Structure 1
Amino acid sequence: MTSSDARADHIAHFPFPFPHDQYRYSTNVEPAGNCTETVAGYWGENRIAIDAHYHRELAEREQILAEDPSRHQCLPHMVPAAWDAMLTLMRTLADEYPDTMTLEKRRDEWLWKNDILGIEHSFVFGDLDTLPAPPLAYICSQIQEDVVLLDQREGALWGDAGLVTFAADWSFGFDVGMSFLEIHGPVPRVHSEKIITRAHNFLMRLGPGQSYRRTNWTLNIDGKLDTSTETYPGWGKDRRTLADGPLDDVGDRLFLRTEVQHLIRLAHSGAVMFLIRTYLLSFRDVASVPEWGERLYKVLEDLPVDMAEYKGISRIREPGMRWLLTYGSVET
């Protein structure tokens, strides 16, 4: 596949997150596993998405974990849930990619094959000595999604395990052990409008094996996947350099960042698994789909100040809007 073909394919399967010209916080959940059509193509047919960035993103995850092992956390009581998550993800991969992924039960052992990475490995469920790494670390080395596991107890959900290397201005290492409501405490409007309470109650009611999805978004500079608070000194200054730099650079430096979040109740442990897959599309590529460029401009223009500040885009949305008007064929 040529670079132009890869770019066209990436645009065609980008999960553009705006169904309307205005954006406000909402639970916006829908059943998982169904294709969503867009004006450029479609997305969402699989719960786990493998694309042309597979090897590059896995290599980046490996490097991040080597430099900061705290991105992987599993409180002791969540070990069974981590095993449950690993096996669930393997089953999903084998179901969605049967030509390259297989999972077989052989007496007391499981045989896992990932032909893309050349992996063939036997393990005993629950026996850490039969894996080369803890279960979450092992399976997350083979998927592009971040994973967070929520324990349900005391009438609440708690973020007690996960592996997150591609956070958007938050820290899993800081949030681990906090309740779902505490984690979302800083988000403006969601408490006064009862959005987080409704989302929390929805997740608490998920039945075993049920899966849903939602999207979230922000803006990103230079297409960085890891914009966690731990690495802020390395990327925080990018907002200033973009805002103060030439306008014609904005189309290639400013990205729309979409997260597709899958919410799955694990059948055996009862934990709720969040899969967070990050997609990045430059403003130039967004504007190559005229309907997307128009809508992104309107969303940014209408976005309330407190929401823009929380997303960290107050300084960069105005250059993005000016670029869309000047170079993106947006009409006002």
Structure 2
Amino acid sequence: MSITIDKDPDSAVLPERIKRFPFPFSSDSYRYSANVEPAHKTVPTEAGAWGAGLIDIDENYLQELAERDGILARDPSRMQVLPHMGPAVWDAITALLPVMAEENPSIMSFHREGNTCRWRNTLQDLDVEFTVGDDDSLPMGPLRFLGSQIQDDIVLLDIREDTMWLDAGLVTFAADWSFGFDVGMNFLEIHGPVPRVKEERIVSRAHQFLMRLQPGEQYRRTNWTMTVGQRLDTSTETYPEWGPDRATIADDPDLPNKLHLRVEVQHLIRLPHTGVLLFLVRSYLLPLADIARVPAWRETFGHVLAELPEDMAEYKGIIRYRKAASDWLLAR
């Protein structure tokens, strides 16, 4: 059975940032759930569609990668690889680059003979040869190289002792958490602070699902919060730079342009050779002013914010301004 979504009559003139935005809500209320589905599945929305590819490359590609460079220069701890995780990083590179070349043949190509690889990225005027397994063949190192090619944050979870351990990653765009603090922790420890997940067994069910993934399998889910300003780096380390804005945005007359819905598209991939779980997190920001250009989104998000339980609003850090945001959306 096919499902037809009624689009706004003006959707054809919407900018790409709205057409491609992964709007995460399908009803007027939100509760935590695993919401896992197969990757590479196009999701139609009232404005357009998203999700056809594994690695999304958009108009912000060079800007976001430059921002990542600056963050890593200021804080190298945002990238860490425990000694036993080197093979998993190479597994991730050889799994992702061919997919990127296949999805973007006009701007990228990948060729491999044995362990010798050649990667071209015309967006960066890059043409590089490297040897799989030889860290010195990539001057910046393999994980840093991968992080220079994709906008996603990268987390690698080793699987041992019947659980998953965060043992490597490159995370420059964390949403109110600290990658450096979580390195070396297991999956259940990392998600311990999230409200309701223990009572509703959401994390334990997600843990069981991920542990059962077979090598090569790819799934995805979405998560959301809100961010003041066009700021991707809202990590715990930079809280003094962005935290105070939460207290003042509700009274700011420019709230619709400054307050953003932040959506993460999280890909979950069991790497084919090492069996390590690759967790990719791509973050998107869209201001309320743009949300309101799609009437169905404006109404749905307004109701979600109004109905969201207090403990969830507190955990997401939106409790001080969610009413102002909801009132603006629903009054349009």
TM-score, normalised relative to structure 2: 0.95
| CA displacement 1:19-78 (0-9 Å, x = unmatched) | 111100000000000100001000001110000000100000000000000000110011
Which residue number corresponds to residue 307 of structure 2? 302
Partners of 2:105 and 2:213 in 1: how far apart?
A: 27
- The aligned runs of 1:1-332 (5 Å cut-off) are 8-246=15-253, 249-326=254-331, 329=332
Q: How many residues align?
A: 321
Report SS of the residue matched to 1:132: coil
50-59 or 130-139: which moved more?
130-139
Report SS of the residue matched to 2:123: coil
8 A Cα contact 2:298 2:330, kept in partner:
no
Give structure 2 stretches of 5+ with no counterpart. 1-11
8 A Cα contact 2:299 2:330, kept in partner:
no
| CA displacement 1:229-264 (0-9 Å, x = unmatched) | 000000001111212333xx1110110000000000
| CA displacement 1:96-145 (0-9 Å, x = unmatched) | 11221111123541111111111111111111111111211101111110
8 A Cα contact 2:165 2:185, kept in partner:
yes
Which residue number corresponds to residue 4 of structure 2? none
Describe the shift of the 1:71–1:6 C-alpha distance in structure 2 as closer, same or farther (beyond 3 A): farther
Partners of 1:267 and 1:302 in 2: how far apart?
A: 42
Describe the shift of the 1:108–1:161 C-alpha distance in structure 2 as closer, same or farther (beyond 3 A): closer
Partners of 2:272 and 2:102 in 1: how far apart?
A: 17
TM-score, normalised relative to structure 1: 0.95
Report SS of the residue matched to 1:273: strand
8 A Cα contact 2:197 2:203, kept in partner:
yes
Partners of 2:102 and 2:161 in 1: how far apart?
A: 35
Partners of 2:39 and 2:115 in 1: how far apart?
A: 32
Give structure 1 stretches of 5+ with no counterpart. none
Q: Kindly report the root-mean-square deviation, in angstroms, between the aligned alpha carbons of the 2 structures.
A: 1.2
Q: Which runs of 4+ in 1 moved over 6 A?
A: none
CA deviation after TM superposition for structure 1 residue 325, in Å:
3.2
8 A Cα contact 2:21 2:284, kept in partner:
yes
Partners of 1:216 and 1:136 in 2: how far apart?
A: 24
